[in-house]
Amino acid sequence: MATLKLSGLASGFDWSSFVDQIMELEHAPVDRLETEKSTNTQKLSALTTLGTKLTSLQTAVDALKAEGLFTSRTATSSTSNSTWSLSAANGTATGSYTIAVTQLATAAKRSGIADIGLGISDDNDVSDVTLATMTTAVAITAGTFTVNGQQVTIALDDSLQDVFDKINTATSGDITASYDSGSDKITLSSASSSEILLGAANDTSNFLTAMKLSNNGGTDPVVSSSALGTTSTTSPLASARLRTAISAVDGEGNGSFTVNGVSISYNVNTDSLSTVLARVTSSTAGVTATYDAVNDKVVLTNKTTGDTGISVSEESGGLMDALGLTTGSTFTHGQNALFSVNGGDTLVSSSNTLDASAHGITGLSVTVNTESTETISVSGDTAPMKSAIEDFVEKFNAVQSYVDEQTKITIGSGGDVTTALLASNREIQDWSRSFRSLAFGSISGLSGTIDRLEDMGIDFTSLESELEITDSTKLDDALANHADDVAEFFSNTTTGFVGKFDDFLESLIGSTGTGGSLGNQETYLTNANTSLDQQIADMERRLEQQRELLESSFQRMEEAQQKLKTIQQQLTDSFGTSSSTSSTSSSS
């Protein structure tokens, strides 16, 4: 006979629903355990969030002890749009310094003789000297220029003599141009001895400028202001058109000279003047070597300012002779900077960067470029300081606000009491009180003017739980003018504000953001939930066995009921037929 599993099929009793009801009652302890576990899980989540906020507070506290935060300085000038460059190192004494500069430092220089190159022609005949190939400081451009109001048009393939002829023709024979190879200059003469007027606003050629010809106030003649020919700086020295030949070299063209005792080698067949000058500049001689194309000369300038010399030496007949940097050179002394601080004695600096070695103010550097007087104010660099303090206040308040929210007890208008998730956690409430005590208390043993947050304009709100910057002006003044005191308040190694917060936070969250009292609470709840999971599993297993036992009992009952019904039906069928047959016989 098949097992009857349908509830009430034989008995008419819905025993399945009855079993569900019984098991629901029996499941009540499990529900209580699951509720307890859910509450623990919510508490764990709340503690995790609190841990995140405490870690953020720890980060903000660490920022307050960052090296240089409260010793950083800023230097500003009272002069609007000052071009002086200012800097103040960490720890520079705050205050105002009036610096009066009466003389700027300049670099010494040694100038070679001018016109070291050959002229534009070896003789006075310039009929074969074309404008395109003339070695002048400025390349000539084609176009027009004006002489006595008459335009002269030139092309680059014109010879210099062609240009002279065009000038004479344009001025109807009045102006004669000539070249003197001895002086390497051009002369413009007037046959009528009248004023020679050069140039016009609409000239398109630079011929007059390139030839160094300009109006001289009406005096006749007009002569080039200086020699026209220049040295070729890109050709090998042997063919650089130097007026003086270089002879103090060996058979392969090698020579050398010294600048400030540093030896510089060259080869007249392979090195150009530009190459040699660059070699001098990049050496350890401490000078910059340049070529003055306008005056056709070489200049050595010290890389540092101040009255220091420049020495040049080479065997006679060498490159330095050809450049006129030995015999015939001109030395211009450099100047030292002269200045005073706060009206004191005149001080001397070889550099225009006035630092502690010059003025005695440790950490302050002022690079000057004008002879003037400016007042320099050194103060704390308040922006990063204030930002760090504001971040601390924000993170402190986030912790306090969250603890208040999670531990509050609310009594409704009807007297109903509502408790937050961690309302019964006295330890966390104690943490909040400890934070308030740490933030409110004074720091002992300090020598400055600041020993509590209130001295910087920071106080608790009216609820006495969260901090607030109640006086920004007071905070700005403390950071700008008492930065050393602020630094001592926060970072004193034994009793400082940051140290106390560090110690307390480490006791709560450990040194790495895990562990501590908070970690202990999380571990306790985690272990509690593990135990509850085991209890729930055990109870669920017993309940499942109980359900199976009940269902099995009712199934057997159904089977018994079905057997009884079967027997009854058989009896009914059997006795009912015999009775009917007997009645029929009696009637007969």
Q: Does a structural domain hold residue 577?
A: no
How confident is the model over 244-293, as pLDDT tens digits?
999 999 999 999 999 999 999 999 999 999 999 999 999 999 999 999 98
**In the beta sheet, which residues pair with residue 110?**
300, 331
**In the beta sheet, which residues pair with residue 257?**
264
Same domain, 310 and 391: no
Pair of tokens at residue 555:
């199934």
Same domain, 44 and 157: no
Identify the DSSP state of 353: E
Q: Identify the pLDDT of residue 419.
A: 87
Same domain, 421 and 512: yes
Same domain, 326 and 283: yes
For the chain, give the percent of residues with pLDDT over 70: 94
Same domain, 208 and 272: no
**CA-to-CA distance for 99 and 120, rounded, in angstroms?**
53
Write down which residue in 370, 392, 425 finishes a domain.
Answer: 370
Q: Identify the pLDDT of residue 193.
A: 83
Q: Identify the pLDDT of residue 346.
A: 97
Pair of tokens at residue 144:
């027009």
Q: Identify the pLDDT of residue 447.
A: 84
Same domain, 443 and 495: yes
Backbone angles phi, psi at 222, to 5 degrees: -105, 125
414 by Cβ neighbours in 10 Å (0-12 / 13-18 / 19+) ranks as exposed
Same domain, 256 and 363: no
Residue from 304, 354, 299, 358 nearest 331 by CA: 299
Same domain, 511 and 420: yes
Pair of tokens at residue 55:
């870690």
Cβ-based neighbours of 8, under 8 Å, separated by 6 or more: 14, 15, 16, 558
> Mean pLDDT by 10-residue block, N- to C-terminus, for the chain (588 residues)?
48 73 83 88 93 94 89 93 95 92 98 94 95 91 96 97 97 96 95 91 96 86 93 94 94 97 97 98 98 94 96 96 94 97 96 96 96 94 93 95 91 83 91 92 86 93 83 92 88 80 91 80 91 88 84 77 80 69 50
Tally of structural domains, the chain? 4
**CA-to-CA distance for 471 and 86, rounded, in angstroms?**
30
Same domain, 386 and 490: yes
Same domain, 257 and 345: no
**CA-to-CA distance for 143 and 109, rounded, in angstroms?**
39
Q: Identify the pLDDT of residue 26.
A: 80
Please report which residue ranges of 441-515 form alpha helices under DSSP H.
Answer: 472-481, 483-491, 497-509
- Domain extent at residue 155: 143-223
Write down which residue in 485, 518, 551 finishes a domain.
Answer: 518
Please report which residue ranges of 184-272 form alpha helices under DSSP H.
Answer: 207-210
In this structure, are residues 373 and 96 in contact, taking their beta carbons and an 8 Å threshold? no
Same domain, 387 and 499: yes
Q: Does a structural domain hold residue 525?
A: no
Same domain, 38 and 154: no
Residue corresponding to tokens 């859910």: 38
- Map residue 486 onto helix, strand or coil: helix
The interaxial angle of helices 382-407 and 426-440, nearest 10 deg, is 150
Pair of tokens at residue 169:
């023709």
The helices-and-strands tally (H runs, E runs) of the chain is 13, 24
- Map residue 210 onto helix, strand or coil: helix
Q: Does a structural domain hold residue 16?
A: no
Q: Does a structural domain hold residue 24?
A: no
Residue from 371, 377, 357, 481 nearest 98 by CA: 377
217 by Cβ neighbours in 10 Å (0-12 / 13-18 / 19+) ranks as exposed
pTM exceeds 0.85 for this model? no
Q: Does a structural domain hold residue 535?
A: no
Identify the DSSP state of 453: G
Between the alpha carbon of residue 562 and those of residues 4, 286, 351, the distances in Å are 9, 120, 119
Residue 383 burial (CB count, 10 A): 11
Establish how many alpha carbons lie within 13 A of residue 228's alpha carbon, considering only the half-sphere containing its beta carbon: 29
Q: Does a structural domain hold residue 395?
A: yes
Q: Identify the pLDDT of residue 550.
A: 82
Q: Does a structural domain hold residue 132?
A: no
In this structure, are residues 229 and 295 in contact, taking their beta carbons and an 8 Å threshold? no
Q: Does a structural domain hold residue 206?
A: yes
